[in-house]
Amino acid sequence: MVIHVVQSGDTLWGISQRYRVDMNQIIVANQIANPNQLVIGEAIVIPEAARYHIIQHGETLWLIAQRYGVTIESIINENKIENPALIYPGQRLKIPSDFHIVKAGETLWSISIKYGVPIQEIVRVNQIGDPSKIYPGQRLIIPEKAKPLIDVNAYITTFAQTGQQIVKEIGEYLTYISPFSYQVKSDGTVQIISDTELLNVARTNNIAPLMVLTNFKEGKFSSDLAHEIFIDTEIQDKLLDNIVQIMQNKGYTGLNIDFEYLYPQDRENYNEFLRRTVNRLRPLGHTVSTAVAPKYSREQKGLLYEAHDYAAHGVIVDFVVIMTYEWGWSGGPPMAVAPISEVRKVIQYALTEIPSQKIMMGMPLYGYDWTLPYVEGGKWAQTISPQAAVQRAAQYGVAIQFDQKAQSPFYTYFDQQGKEHIVWFEDARSVQAKYDLVKELNLRGVSYWVLGNPFPQNWIVLTDNFRIQKF
């Protein structure tokens, strides 16, 4: 995969010729609405040019392998063919396309180092009998380098047909789906949501559903509601009974607790509630995770931060979703939603308190459009999908810029009323920077907020970097 940043004079035809990829592949991969209206500064994902063969009557894997100069085993491995005798006319096979021509003086060891692939994998794929006897001019298939295996979670707020279709389309990229949300009540009951059909779709796509529990009340997080739960163990027991019943009835595999804006004095109360929850759910085979605010230090002040005890969560629960987004938020001044400089600071602090394999780094699937000048307490910014952000730049004929420190795209424009706007959003470059951080720091995975904002490039970049854990 390559990320191409559109320059003045670029056309899709020219880009396709440059990378030797069919133009339609680029259009489909990026869901480009108008191929004749590219935006300067737009980041386009160039998919790998794959070679495919449509099986004809009378063909065998041996004949196909001979035609393309590859081994039968490499075709079987590439296409995950369980029974080589059961191939059929019309079946499409992907033909391995990474080769290395051996040069004088090269060894399998030096070739394996060059491509970052184990020697035994090169030997196996090429059916090499004696690894010491390779020769100049010999063509070797280079198997795909093993990618890190990560967990991927996504929150979703729409459960009807639209939400179900989203899960069908991107289900292969998800480990977990987290319908948002089940709201706790002060008497220990839980407000039920209509998620049954969504969960059925998730199961058919081998996605593990997480039940999201929040202290959400009347449209906002309630500090008082959480406090009422924390100080009454009888209410907690009733709540846990209800949670278990819901999880078992609906097939939830885990519980994700997203309690926000907690009173600072409830820090240890929250920790104890988590311990009670884990002790109840883990013996039943359920995981328990939390969502926490992005902190720079243990004693960071503020209602959003103080009761979120990273060190305790790192010990108590199975994994922690760190909500590394909303630096730029709809009610605040314009800036990148998840600047990589700030995301890095939060994760580096988190690693001093939480094991890396328990950290799920939050990632936004959206941006914001602010009307300028920004006035505190004034009009809130409009949420915008990455795809719509590019389309809006095209609509107003402006170029997309890229902030190197934040590793985020942005642009300004004037609307029909003459009002100036600034848009910050995500693109292939910004998510690549975040995925690089996940790999560098060996994190458990990523968690998206929130599905429903079209961002086709993200899923291509994700799978170019990682393999997705499935249970």
| Residues annotated as part of the active site | 260
Radius of gyration for the chain, computed over Cα atoms and rounded to the nearest angstrom = 25
| CA pair distance 341, 359, nearest whole angstrom | 18
Report CA torsion sign: 66, 71, 76, 78: negative
**283 Rama sector, left if φ>0, alpha if ψ -120 to 50, beta otherwise:** alpha
- The closest alpha carbon to 274, from 252, 257, 261, belongs to 257
First to last CA, the chain: 27
Please state, in angstroms and as integers, the Cα–Cα distance from residue 128 to each residue in 122, 138, 178, following that order.
8, 11, 47
- The closest alpha carbon to 287, from 202, 367, 175, belongs to 175
| CA pair distance 243, 195, nearest whole angstrom | 15
- Report the relative pairing of strands 420-424 and 367-371 from DSSP bridges: antiparallel
| CA pair distance 378, 386, nearest whole angstrom | 24
